[in-house]
Chain A
Amino acid sequence: MKKLLCMLLVAMLALACVAAVAEDYEVTLILKDNTSAGWRYLAAAAIATGDEIGVKVTENSPLETQDADQQYNAVLDAIEKEVDAIIIAPVDSAGIVPAIEKAVEAGIPVFTTNTRAFVNNEDDIVTFVGVGNEQGGYDIAKYMFSQFPEGEPINLIIVDGNRTGQTTLDRIAGIERAIAEDDRVTLLDCQEAKFSRAQAQEIMENFLVKYDDIDLVIALNDEMAIGAYNAIVAANRVDEMLISGFDGTPEGLQAVLDGQITASLNQDLPGQGSEAVKAVKTWLDGGDVEDWIVVGGEVCTPENAPALLEKLVK
């Protein structure tokens, strides 16, 4: 037991030494999970930008589940670490508020990215970096509807994300607003696939058996759109329907270029990460920051995808 303990301690020490390098400002970045591709792009960009401008960005996101309490704990740990700022993409826009209030109380500025927090006092948040998810949902739905000829009915399937999270609720609200404005559209079905390619593929397989007349599939992120596409290919029904994604990840943009999915909505996740870190730097240096730094928001089509992709890969 003693030997094992010693070995464990030494291993932990060694790991910690690698992690401890000091820079000008220290920032904790809290994203929704540690596993989805989109968040990795955001984190990588944030860390890279931080390295350039002298901000040490440490990520501490919940591991696999999109867990509001783990985010709460991460904020509290950041307060104890006495970091200079916190950047957070809340899983639960309401559930994160008490933690944000604690950070503000401790004198640590809080920046939100990707998803807003429903704070009671707007001054608690320095800035929000990202697109409006509701507007994004509306825009992509509008764009997809416009692909269909006038007067022809559109049978719609929505591949939902994760109904316990804010992003999903906002995007769905936007899509519903677009549906309400367009009397051609019938919503056939909507099921959640947890933003996972694997789950979307399985759900789409079921839908394909159930419905003979699907015209449009709106997936709430690119991963799920690609999953749905795989299912549709396997069923030999590619020509029957259009698919849209969301996020504008490299895989998503490539799928748009390859004609697998029709469009995506560019969230510019790397842009969210780097802009947020830049805003932190400006603010800590004593500068002023806008209340809302708009990043991305355009519909990705085969026309603009090459340019967007080039920007991402760079």
Chain B
Amino acid sequence: MNELKSGVRRLTRVVPMTLLLLAGMVIVFSALVGPAKYLKLSNIMNVISQCSSGVGIVALASFLAICSTGVDLSLGGIVSLAGMVTARILTAETGTLAGLRTSAPGLLLAIAILASLAVGALMGSLNGVILSRTNIPSFIITLGNFKICETLSRVLAGGSTVRISNMPQFEFIGGGSLMSVSQTVQQGARTSTRMIGILPVSALVMVLLYLLFSIIMKRTRFGTYVYAIGGNYEATEMSGVNTTKTRFTVFLLGGVIAAVTGIILTSRLTAASAANGLGLEFDGIAAAVVGGAAMTGGRSTPWRTLIGALIISVLRNGFSMVGMANSLQMIAIGAVLIIVVAVDVAKNRRR
């Protein structure tokens, strides 16, 4: 028993605990659903694209906020607002924008995306301006900002869903794939051949963002400062680091990252509704924390956060494939969150 214990301990030193948890979940679900059905390529791609259009990218923003000892509850609202801005611009009925739809759809798309990112940056910087200059808890400010974003999104929606049609380039972002393979599926007596996208654009965007932030966090001064603020705020400030600027940037970037999710989500559904994305802020926090971030700041990495996000996505998809009640899924996520954090806290205390 003791040997096993130390074996596990040695294993977790090499492989993060969360990765083991993820692997364990995949094994269990494939046992329950049947490996042939669960582990087939199309389902793997399914989980990945579900992750990248939902919690996956938002989790990165949550990680940044938590790493610098805050939380960002406005992310879900920003996702909704940014998605709505994209849709509104793409479907503008009058003025220059409407003209562009036929004459230069690529340009229109670029404008829509840039505007959406700008709105994300703006709402993020609203958090940043206040939180970098005061010691008000981020919880309450970002909660207020969430409500503002949700309202703006509803007002922009004008009491309906904004539907985007005939914009294949835009649909490509959330639903397209750079490369596809064909897969034959046996369904009872029927056999059908389906094209499975193996490089979904949204997943590529997600991986690129994580790669980018992995480099930023490791190699740039900004990254070092974020970790330093999380480690010890007073000491960091006394050592001459511009903490105001760093904290501002964290929330600004958070807004931009959330806007990316908004664009992907709108593209995936080819429609924007003010309800889209609301609630992702808590999923993001759960993912970042399951990935190893501590509320006290300064811990975890982007890649670990991605594992956390995948755990949440695998859990959702698995429960749904097995056909279990969604309320059990809710309980499971709550339980995983508490257990992971409890183990983490206990481990640190031992150290």
Q: Do chains A and B touch in the complex (CB under 8 A)?
A: yes
Residues of chain A touching chain B, judged by Cβ–Cβ distance below 8 Å, are 1-2, 4-5, 8-9, 12-13, 15-16, 19-20, 34, 58, 60-63, 65-69, 72-74, 76-77, 79-82, 84, 91-98, 105-108, 118, 120, 162-166, 169
Query: Is B192 located at the chain interface by the 8 A CB criterion?
Result: yes
Docked pose: A66 CA to B276 CA in angstroms: 9
A164-B161 contact in complex given A80-B37, A92-B273, A107-B185, C-beta closer than 8 Å: yes
B270 contacts A98, C-beta separation under 8 Å: yes
Which residues of B are found within 8 Å of A162, using beta-carbon distances? 275
How far does the Cβ of B194 sit from chain A's closest Cβ, in whole Å? 5
A107 contacts B187, C-beta separation under 8 Å: yes
How far does the Cβ of A174 sit from chain B's closest Cβ, in whole Å? 15
How far does the Cβ of B290 sit from chain A's closest Cβ, in whole Å? 13
Would you list 25 pairs from A and B whose C-beta atoms are within 8 A, ordered by A residue?
A4-B339, A5-B24, A8-B332, A8-B336, A9-B24, A13-B32, A15-B324, A16-B32, A19-B323, A62-B326, A69-B265, A69-B269, A73-B317, A76-B46, A80-B46, A81-B323, A94-B271, A95-B163, A98-B171, A98-B268, A105-B195, A106-B194, A164-B157, A164-B161, A169-B160
How far does the Cβ of A60 sit from chain B's closest Cβ, in whole Å? 5
Which residues of A are found within 8 Å of B31, using beta-carbon distances? 13
The tally of residues in B whose CB lies under 8 Å from a CB in A reads 64
A98-B175 contact in complex given A12-B32, A82-B185, C-beta closer than 8 Å: yes
Type the 1/0 row for B186-223, where 1 means its CB is closer than 8 Å to any CB of A.
01101010110000000000000000000000000000
A164 contacts B271, C-beta separation under 8 Å: no
Type the 1/0 row for B2-35, where 1 means its CB is closer than 8 Å to any CB of A.
0001001000000001000100100010011100
Residue of A nearest to B4 (CB): A2
Residue of A nearest to B313 (CB): A73
Query: Is B98 located at the chain interface by the 8 A CB criterion?
Result: no
A169 contacts B159, C-beta separation under 8 Å: yes
Residue of B nearest to A15 (CB): B324
Which residues of B are found within 8 Å of A73, using beta-carbon distances? 50, 54, 316-317, 320
Docked pose: A2 CA to B187 CA in angstroms: 39
A92 contacts B268, C-beta separation under 8 Å: no
B54 contacts A16, C-beta separation under 8 Å: no
A163-B154 contact in complex given A68-B271, A69-B276, A80-B42, C-beta closer than 8 Å: yes
Docked pose: A169 CA to B271 CA in angstroms: 15
Query: Is B142 located at the chain interface by the 8 A CB criterion?
Result: no
Question: Which of B21, B40, B192, B275 has the most chain A CB atoms inside 10 A of its CB?
Answer: B275
Q: Of A4, A15, A108, A166, which contacts B161 at CB under 8 A?
A: A166
B269 contacts A98, C-beta separation under 8 Å: yes
Which residues of A are found within 8 Å of B275, using beta-carbon distances? 65-68, 91, 162, 164-165
Docked pose: A54 CA to B316 CA in angstroms: 28
B274 contacts A164, C-beta separation under 8 Å: yes
* Count of chain A to chain B residue pairs whose CB atoms are closer than 8 Å in the complex: 155
Type the 1/0 row for B158-183, where 1 means its CB is closer than 8 Å to any CB of A.
01110101000001000100000000
B190 contacts A80, C-beta separation under 8 Å: no
Residues of chain B touching chain A, judged by Cβ–Cβ distance below 8 Å, are 5, 8, 17, 21, 24, 28, 31-33, 37, 40, 42-43, 46, 49-50, 53-54, 154, 157, 159-161, 163, 165, 171, 175, 185, 187-188, 190, 192, 194-195, 265, 268-271, 273-279, 316-317, 320-330, 332, 335-336, 339, 343
B317 contacts A77, C-beta separation under 8 Å: yes
Other A-B pairs beyond A19-B324, A69-B54, A106-B185, 17, CB < 8 Å = A4-B339, A12-B332, A13-B28, A13-B31, A65-B278, A68-B275, A80-B43, A80-B46, A94-B269, A95-B163, A97-B271, A98-B171, A107-B185, A164-B273, A164-B275, A165-B273, A169-B160
Which residues of B are found within 8 Å of A20, using beta-carbon distances? 32, 322-323
B316 contacts A80, C-beta separation under 8 Å: no
Which residues of B are found within 8 Å of A16, using beta-carbon distances? 32, 322, 324
Docked pose: A98 CA to B279 CA in angstroms: 22
B326 contacts A34, C-beta separation under 8 Å: yes
How far does the Cβ of B34 sit from chain A's closest Cβ, in whole Å? 10
A63-B316 contact in complex given A19-B324, A164-B161, C-beta closer than 8 Å: no
Residue of A nearest to B166 (CB): A120
Which residues of B are found within 8 Å of A77, using beta-carbon distances? 46, 317, 320-321
A69-B192 contact in complex given A5-B21, A60-B320, A80-B37, C-beta closer than 8 Å: no
Q: Of B28, B161, B195, B326, which contacts A93 at CB under 8 A?
A: B161
Residue of B nearest to A56 (CB): B323
Top 10 closest A-B pairs, CB basis? A94-B163, A107-B192, A95-B269, A94-B271, A95-B271, A164-B275, A80-B43, A77-B320, A16-B32, A58-B323
